[in-house]
Amino acid sequence: MTSTNDTFPTWSWVSAYGPIHFRGASPRGCSLAFWGIVTSIDTQPTILTIPEPSQRDELLFYDVNYPLQAQVVAALAWQNGCIRSETPDYVLLGCPRKEYKARLWRKWPDYVTYWHDAFDAYYHTANPVFSDSDIELARVPGRILVHSQTAWFTLEHHAEERPDAESVRVGRHAFLLRNKDGLVAGGIYLTEHWAKPYKNLGRKEPVRFIALSTSQYPGTALMSGLLGECAQHLSPSALYGCGCSKPPTEQKPALPSNPESTAPQHIPSCPHHLAFSARLEHLPARKWPPRPRRWVSTSEKRDIAYTKHLADLSYFDNEGALVHQWDDVPTLNVMMVGEGGEGGVGRRVGVGQVYLRRWAEADRGFESVVI
């Protein structure tokens, strides 16, 4: 998204270190972050500018951008508390999916309308989202203000992508993001410079992430690669974080019918789950297990595990029907933020994806951050 006065792109990487790669912009997500930039010249007063979407951003909701999908994921994010403004009744999912999509289309015929519905309340002068101290910190060139929801996840170094001159890949490190229960919450790629301090961090040190925008694709596309081609060295149980793969000292006892049993409960994507091979009723009628798009199959067991993983992250209407494509579950684009030093200024480390379902389950809070 760009501002009407072209102040800066909201995906700005001013002062970022190392090579930056921008994926294709279509389809894009809907912003969940409220941005600001401070300009200060010695002879003039400090000016805080809030970039707003322009007519160019109206294309976000056009047919080429997966019609009606953008509104649905944005509404689900708002319903799950990812926007600070009061939740309007029309984003609540309590009806059939066709009615839900039609209602959102009437309310948000274009992206500009969505943005003002979501963020106009942030301008309230009685409760400003950016304090005087925030604005003072942001006076340094290259710094940006953002007010959004933040959450913490642990990083697990997953795989290393070697440099490839033919595909212009610079060599990246893949990390899985896990929640406090060890379940897969998302993923991120970091270059060698940024990956080095986090490779041996382990799961005990959580890292802060800022919600940037909603996503669908490329969020699920990134995760299909991390959980597929990059994960052959892990069993499905360990990959998806089932308790049975943890050391005995970390396993939680189940609540079985047999009180004497201490066997851990298995998650649906674990092959040891009793219903692991059972067909899912909400999926289209096709060969079981189905083959998700962008998924490279290596075994039937891994196909089923990934399909059950997606089902656990999906959203359904009041009739039990999916409100999105079964293999494109709602995700959020998130920014990983490291410690920047002076006065708590954050450092932009990388952009990744977190499943909306996992983000909604995390301990979250709204805050203003200078990055």
* Whether residues 128 and 162 fall in one domain: no
Query: Is residue 61 a part of any domain in this protein?
Result: yes
Q: What is the pLDDT of residues 74-127, one digit of tens each?
A: 999 999 999 999 999 999 999 999 999 999 989 998 888 999 999 999 987 667
How confident is residue 199, by pLDDT bands cut at 50, 70 and 90? confident
Query: Is residue 3 a part of any domain in this protein?
Result: no
Query: Is residue 21 a part of any domain in this protein?
Result: no
Please give the Cα distance from 131 to 158 (Å, whole number). 39
More confident: 287 or 310: 310
* Whether residues 310 and 221 fall in one domain: yes
Query: Is residue 97 a part of any domain in this protein?
Result: yes
Show the beta-strand stretches assigned E in 249-363: 331-339, 346-355
Count of structural domains, the chain: 2
Query: Is residue 7 a part of any domain in this protein?
Result: no
pLDDT for residue 211 = 96
Query: Is residue 173 a part of any domain in this protein?
Result: yes
Residue 84: DSSP 8-state? S
pLDDT for residue 264 = 65
Q: What is the pLDDT of residues 128-170, one digit of tens each?
A: 899 999 998 998 888 899 999 999 999 999 888 776 655 555 6
* Whether residues 140 and 289 fall in one domain: no
pLDDT for residue 21 = 43
pLDDT for residue 69 = 76
* Whether residues 184 and 316 fall in one domain: yes
pLDDT for residue 195 = 87
Mean pLDDT in the chain? 82
Query: Is residue 193 a part of any domain in this protein?
Result: yes
Average pLDDT value for residue range 249-277: 72
Residues 6+ apart with CB under 8 A from 317: 93, 95, 96, 97, 100, 323
Q: Which domain holds residue 141?
A: 34-148+362-370
* Whether residues 138 and 157 fall in one domain: no
* Whether residues 104 and 157 fall in one domain: no
* Whether residues 94 and 156 fall in one domain: no
Q: What is the pLDDT of residues 52-68, one digit of tens each?
A: 887 666 656 655 445 45
Please give the Cα distance from 254 to 72 (Å, whole number). 36
Q: What is the percent of the chain where pLDDT is above 70?
A: 77
Query: Is residue 314 a part of any domain in this protein?
Result: yes
pLDDT for residue 2 = 40
Least confident span in 280-284, 314-318, 329-333: 280-284
pLDDT for residue 127 = 75
Instruction: Give kind and range of the element (H or E) at residue 136.
Output: helix 132-137
pTM of the model: 0.87
* Whether residues 164 and 68 fall in one domain: no
Instruction: Give kind and range of the element (H or E) at residue 172.
Output: strand 172-178
* Whether residues 156 and 138 fall in one domain: no
* Whether residues 318 and 286 fall in one domain: yes
* Whether residues 297 and 314 fall in one domain: yes
* Whether residues 156 and 91 fall in one domain: no
pLDDT for residue 205 = 84
